Structure 1
């Protein structure tokens, strides 16, 4: 049986690559399904994975800016028994491979399989790691010594934005969504090329302020 980077039965935390970062750098957080790759429901077949347009350029911009790129993804399909961690690993590997073909790389992947509709140890409602709760972002921030208030999140669901807000981030981009503000947290839409350009500019700007020595 393949060994997977599970911190507990329903939490995957994987460091990818060997890049290191100074303490206090901001990060680019991204949801996966529907944000990086085209959402196919409960993706369990790597052959069906395709990237969304323009997202690789955003991740590459973060790479060039010297800031960590972190995937934070809910995977209730595992709790529901639709597929297992082995299938998740294959699909996720395909996502990372496709990004690599476009010159983009990810530094950490966190996935939460807990869901109230699951079975066995994964049948947990409102788990702190499951978005809209901020647990995955907080865990990544701790491990990578991230400056959360300067970090950004990109996602396709309000739960992604809420997780970012609860984690103390300042801004998020909502795929095919509307702009809004929730207290100190600003949401920008990500629908067309001009929106992508705005996100690219924001990501590039993150690299201009140094982290702590």
Structure 2
């Protein structure tokens, strides 16, 4: 299923490395997500400047082990939890380059309206490449309600390069029908430092 949310920093301080946990529950309060996809529901936003809004998205399959017939579990609720955040005083804004994304459009793949390529432009005030930690798109309907999202966790993408440029995010079966394309919100996650811990991530560590 396609998941999306928009996180806003309403504080006057800089939010650095904010953990975001997405939870999808069934009518009994159990997680409705396939355990193989559970890791994709824990993400980390590197930087949220005061007043900034950031797209958070993921995709995951529903669990089928609770039904004797192997049917996908039913979804009753979707919750977003913000975890630990390092709050930095606004005086540090000069240490954090501004990376701005502008949505350009969606190119659907032939024969599948739920799959396609989300195009966007990136403008950065950084004089050096930053650490890429994924790109995210959130889809909204005509009322402005979030109806899903797509993400690319590729950390080798050039979307955090110093030069202004255009990029795209490809997604399969994550674009809901009936979206208002013009309202799509795209964010690229750019960090000022690499994430420690090596290649093996402990349980509960952010997917990106």
TM-score calculated relative to the size of structure 2: 0.28
Higher helix fraction (1 or 2): 1
TM-score calculated relative to the size of structure 1: 0.28
Higher strand fraction (1 or 2): 2
Q: Which has the larger radius of gyration?
A: 2
